[in-house]
């Protein structure tokens, strides 16, 4: 089985290359419909093959003893410099196996969903053709390939290749509809913010390599690093304990990739891309990279209690901050975006209290219900002709039955209602936060649990608000006129001759919302099933060997937690469930029973409402403090370059030109003058001597005779 591991990332790479290089030709030679079908088969087929091999790898691990659940396949030696040896080598253990199942399984369903969603995406709002279909699937396959390299990497250098790959692909897909400036800006924002985090990640890698190298261990391999991590116990870097220094910088990289405070601002703007892209980023690929990285390097983080405390605090702050912002958002995708930021905060909370199994468990269950929520929102947007404002929706349960019922499953799962998947994983984190002692701040565990429990109630409230505003009540506006398929906000609506959207007001022209095609609904059904049963899998026990050596990493299995009905764990779980039910009940009262109250409350507490609606003005603060400052620095640098650097260069050029002109004058006047004078004298003397040459023999004889006479006279008298 180990010899097939390399095919898992290879298949989506092949799909990306084939569609990227031949996609346009396939459309021209086979026609649009057949060409798109072939492109779809290539993209989805390669992902499905990767999923099958991942599944068989999982079965292979299950059949082994827990201590033998490791498969390694080396493709070739990448670098071999002195004692350093870096290989293109792939590792399948319980941790990476969970990840590849999520990436390939959920990724395949998103690819299948994309077939229906992107089928008619041919022109932008100005009518310009997009080379979108083959380009989209090429990028999507490349995204999956990069994430698979990241999670399968057997060393930190290869992980960094995948790490940068997902960053590049996120830029390409977020700004996929690049003709709209806002989309291009969103892609650039994601790219730049992630570069800040990647700087920290690189510093952490170099520091780790240097610290181990100081003890003669020159390696980038995870297993060799783990075996020699004890050497860092007494090591310091710049006066800071080495493990703390390294893990803090690595965590900076995680805050960028996984959208944690303060580098979370790019993720909500990532909604500019197609909805399936949002699902892939938020559920199966990029944003989970930071959580996975901490899980993979758990042997380092367990040696740095201060870093773990920082991770837990940042995760909790992010979970609460994003949850409160989600309370006031009206764009359906933005609500889901902030819910992702919040749920990632819970994962980091789990990692910060050394509950690594709980954090990865929540990563897996979150992938199921968050992908379902995003794909369900895409189905809603598709039915509404591109509208994303929930205030214009309502009553869609009557038009989109499959979307509605699958969305209900995901809503209950993220709200932490038993026995759905989100209940088990979220409560594992909260119980671990409550029970894990903190050596630095003894009171912190209870505070973290309280904040996490409040966040659970807020999550249930804003997700219930989304469901009630979207699917209940009456439809508050007619769907927009589709421009040919997948629609995004204000980007695919045509204008009629009167300047308004092409929606005919006459009843006979009314266009009711309709359910999505099977390529979009089948993935919803599959994800709904996993959102129900995902918490029943024995993931904590399966992951136990990976984290066996980590302090605090012993798993609290969900099944064991339920059995302890008489203990404090059951009480903590009950409180969490009650908070979720309270959040649902509060949203039902405000948006179903008394729908006029939200408007009154927002008017009465307008300052607080505006603060939350505008996301605490964090983007504006960043704009004022960093962006404008950097732009001013950029302008000052440009002026310095033009006036000083270019001035020096241009001044030097002018001096050189003047000196060259002076040298030219000297050369022309004196050197060339002397040469020309000699030449002129020679010419003059030559012209005078020419007169002697008459061509007459008598003259020559007379001259000879005269010469002889002169010689005789000289010899006679001298």
CA distance 488 to 265: 20
Q: What does the pLDDT read at residue 674? A: 86
Question: Quick check: 561 pLDDT over 50?
Answer: no
Using CA atoms, how far residue 184 sits from 127, 180, 670, in Å, is: 18, 7, 65
Sort 21 into a burial class: Cβ within 10 Å, 0-12 / 13-18 / 19+.
exposed
> Does residue 539 contact residue 360 with C-beta atoms inside 8 Å?
yes
Q: What is the pLDDT of residues 216-262, one digit of tens each?
A: 899 999 999 999 999 999 899 999 999 999 999 999 999 999 999 99
> Does residue 459 contact residue 410 with C-beta atoms inside 8 Å?
no
Question: Quick check: 621 pLDDT over 80?
Answer: yes
Q: What is the pLDDT of residues 193-211, one digit of tens each?
A: 999 999 999 999 999 999 9
Question: Quick check: 697 pLDDT over 80?
Answer: no
Residues in contact with 204: Cβ distance below 8 Å, sequence separation at least 6, in sequence order: 246, 247, 248, 249, 250, 252, 253
Question: Quick check: 689 pLDDT over 50?
Answer: yes
Question: Quick check: 397 pLDDT over 60?
Answer: yes
DSSP conformational letter for 1 = -
Residues in contact with 458: Cβ distance below 8 Å, sequence separation at least 6, in sequence order: 320, 323, 324, 326, 327, 342, 583
What value does the mean pLDDT take over residues 414-442? 92
> Does residue 465 contact residue 253 with C-beta atoms inside 8 Å?
no
> Does residue 160 contact residue 256 with C-beta atoms inside 8 Å?
no
pLDDT band, residue 446 (cuts 50/70/90):
very high
Q: Hey, is 81 helix, strand or coil? A: strand
pLDDT band, residue 497 (cuts 50/70/90):
very low
CA distance 273 to 491: 11
Q: What does the pLDDT read at residue 481? A: 52
DSSP string, 277-288: HHHIIIIISGGG
CA distance 406 to 362: 20
Residues in contact with 241: Cβ distance below 8 Å, sequence separation at least 6, in sequence order: 235, 304, 306
Q: What does the pLDDT read at residue 85? A: 87
Question: Quick check: 324 pLDDT over 70?
Answer: yes
pLDDT band, residue 102 (cuts 50/70/90):
very high
Question: Quick check: 478 pLDDT over 80?
Answer: no
pLDDT band, residue 511 (cuts 50/70/90):
low
CA-based R_g, the chain, Å: 37
Residues in contact with 300: Cβ distance below 8 Å, sequence separation at least 6, in sequence order: 208, 225, 229, 232, 243, 246, 247, 250
Using CA atoms, how far residue 303 sits from 223, 306, 555, 565, in Å, is: 16, 9, 18, 33
| Residue, of 126 and 507, whose pLDDT is higher | 126
**Quick one: what percent of the chain has pLDDT higher than 90?**
66
Sort 522 into a burial class: Cβ within 10 Å, 0-12 / 13-18 / 19+.
middle
**Quick one: what percent of the chain has pLDDT higher than 70?**
91
CA distance 111 to 465: 29
Q: What does the pLDDT read at residue 670? A: 84
Q: What does the pLDDT read at residue 370? A: 96
> Does residue 94 contact residue 61 with C-beta atoms inside 8 Å?
yes
Q: What does the pLDDT read at residue 553? A: 40
- What is the dihedral sign for C-alpha 430, 435, 436, 438? positive
Question: Quick check: 189 pLDDT over 80?
Answer: yes
Number of H-type helices and E-type strands within the chain: 29, 4
Q: What does the pLDDT read at residue 717? A: 79
Q: What is the pLDDT of residues 567-612, one digit of tens each?
A: 688 899 999 999 999 999 999 999 999 999 999 999 999 999 999 9
For the ranges 43-52, 266-275, 448-457, 661-670, the lowest mean pLDDT is seen at 661-670
For the ranges 5-9, 51-55, 486-490, 648-652, the lowest mean pLDDT is seen at 486-490
CA distance 621 to 600: 29
pLDDT band, residue 120 (cuts 50/70/90):
confident
Using CA atoms, how far residue 437 sits from 33, 308, 319, in Å, is: 61, 12, 21
pLDDT band, residue 557 (cuts 50/70/90):
very low
Q: What does the pLDDT read at residue 683? A: 84
Residues in contact with 515: Cβ distance below 8 Å, sequence separation at least 6, in sequence order: 379, 383, 399, 400, 401, 402, 403, 521
> Does residue 250 contact residue 163 with C-beta atoms inside 8 Å?
no
Question: Quick check: 483 pLDDT over 60?
Answer: no
Residues in contact with 298: Cβ distance below 8 Å, sequence separation at least 6, in sequence order: 356, 546, 547, 550, 553
> Does residue 306 contact residue 246 with C-beta atoms inside 8 Å?
no
DSSP string, 441-454: -TTHHHHHHHHHHH
Query: What percentage of the chain's residues is helix, strand, coil (to nearest 5)?
Result: 75, 5, 25
| Residue, of 185 and 487, whose pLDDT is higher | 185
CA distance 417 to 365: 13
Average pLDDT in the chain = 88
CA distance 149 to 153: 6
> Does residue 582 contact residue 457 with C-beta atoms inside 8 Å?
yes
Q: What does the pLDDT read at residue 292? A: 97
Question: Quick check: 555 pLDDT over 70?
Answer: no
> Does residue 364 contact residue 534 with C-beta atoms inside 8 Å?
yes
Q: What does the pLDDT read at residue 484? A: 39
What value does the mean pLDDT take over residues 663-676? 84
pLDDT band, residue 566 (cuts 50/70/90):
very low
């Amino acid at each position: 089985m180990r010899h097939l591991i390399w095919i898992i990332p290879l298949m989506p790479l092949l799909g990306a290359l084939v569609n990227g290089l031949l996609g346009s030709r396939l459309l021209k030679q086979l026609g649009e419909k057949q060409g798109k079908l072939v492109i779809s088969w290539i993209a989805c087929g390669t992902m499905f093959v990767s999923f099958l091999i991942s599944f068989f790898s999982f079965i292979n691990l299950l059949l082994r003893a827990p201590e033998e659940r490791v498969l390694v396949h080396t493709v070739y030696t990448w670098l071999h410099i002195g004692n350093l040896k870096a290989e293109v080598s792939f590792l399948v253990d319980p941790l990476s196996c969970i990840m590849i199942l999520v990436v390939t399984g959920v990724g395949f369903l998103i690819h299948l969903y994309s077939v229906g969603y992107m089928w008619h995406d041919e022109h932008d709002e100005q009518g310009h053709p997009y080379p979108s279909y083959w380009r989209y699937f090429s990028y999507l396959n490349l995204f999956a390939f990069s994430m698979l390299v990241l999670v399968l990497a057997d060393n930190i250098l290869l992980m960094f290749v995948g790490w940068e790959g997902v960053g590049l692909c996120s830029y390409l897909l977020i700004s996929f509809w690049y003709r709209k400036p806002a989309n291009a800006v969103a892609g650039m924002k994601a790219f730049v913010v992630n570069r800040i985090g990647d700087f920290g990640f690189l510093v952490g890698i170099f520091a780790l390599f240097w610290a181990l190298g100081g003890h003669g261990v020159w390696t980038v391999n995870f297993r060799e690093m783990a075996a020699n991590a004890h050497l860092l116990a007494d090591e310091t870097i710049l006066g800071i304990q080495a493990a703390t220094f390294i893990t803090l910088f690595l965590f900076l990289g995680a805050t960028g990739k996984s959208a944690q405070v303060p580098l979370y601002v790019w993720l909500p703007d990532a909604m500019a891309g197609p909805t399936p892209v949002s699902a892939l980023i938020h559920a199966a690929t990029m944003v989970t990279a930071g959580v996975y990285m901490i899980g993979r390097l758990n042997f380092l983080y367990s040696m740095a209690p201060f870093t773990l405390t920082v991770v837990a605090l940042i995760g909790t702050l992010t979970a609460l901050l994003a949850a409160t912002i989600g309370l006031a958002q009206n764009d359906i995708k933005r609500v889901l975006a902030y819910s992702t930021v919040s749920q990632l905060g819970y994962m980091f909370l789990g990692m910060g209290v050394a509950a690594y199994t709980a954090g990865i468990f929540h990563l897996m269950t979150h992938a199921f219900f968050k992908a379902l929520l995003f794909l369900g929102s895409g189905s809603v947007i598709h039915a509404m002709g591109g509208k994303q404002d929930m205030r214009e929706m309502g009553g869609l349960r009557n038009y989109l039955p499959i979307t509605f019922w699958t969305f209900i499953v995901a809503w209950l799962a993220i709200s932490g209602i038993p026995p759905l998947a989100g209940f088990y994983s979220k409560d594992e984190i909260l119980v671990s936060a409550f029970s894990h002692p903190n050596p630095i701040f003894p009171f912190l565990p209870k505070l973290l649990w309280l904040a996490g429990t409040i966040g659970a109630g807020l999550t249930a409230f804003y997700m219930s608000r989304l469901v009630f505003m979207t699917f209940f009540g009456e439809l508050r506006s007619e769907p927009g006129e589709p421009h040919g398929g997948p629609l995004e906000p204000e980007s695919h609506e045509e204008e009629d001759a009167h300047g308004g959207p092409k929606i005919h007001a006459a009843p006979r022209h009314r266009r009711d919302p309709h359910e999505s095609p099977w390529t979009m609904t089948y993935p919803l059904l599959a994800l709904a099933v996993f959102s129900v049963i995902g918490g029943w899998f024995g993931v904590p026990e399966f992951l136990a060997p990976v984290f066996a050596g980590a302090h605090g990493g012993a798993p609290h299995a969900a099944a064991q937690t339920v059995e302890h009905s008489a203990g404090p764990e059951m009480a903590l779980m009950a409180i969490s469930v009650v908070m979720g039910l309270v959040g649902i009940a509060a949203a039902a009262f405000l948006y179903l029973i008394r729908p006029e109250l939200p408007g009154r409350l927002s008017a009465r507490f307008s300052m607080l409402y505006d603060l939350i609606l505008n996301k605490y003005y964090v983007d504006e603060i960043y704009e004022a403090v960093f962006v404008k400052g950097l732009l001013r620095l950029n302008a000052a640098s440009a002026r310095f370059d033009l006036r000083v650097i270019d001035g020096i260069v241009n001044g030097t050029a002018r001096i050189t030109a003047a000196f060259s002109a002076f040298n030219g004058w000297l050369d022309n006047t004196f050197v060339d003058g002397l040469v020309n004078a000699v030449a002129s004298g020679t010419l003059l003397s030559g012209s005078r001597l020419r007169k002697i040459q008459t061509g007459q023999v008598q003259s020559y004889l007379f001259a000879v005779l005269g010469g002889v006479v002169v010689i005789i006279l000289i010899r006679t008298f001298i």
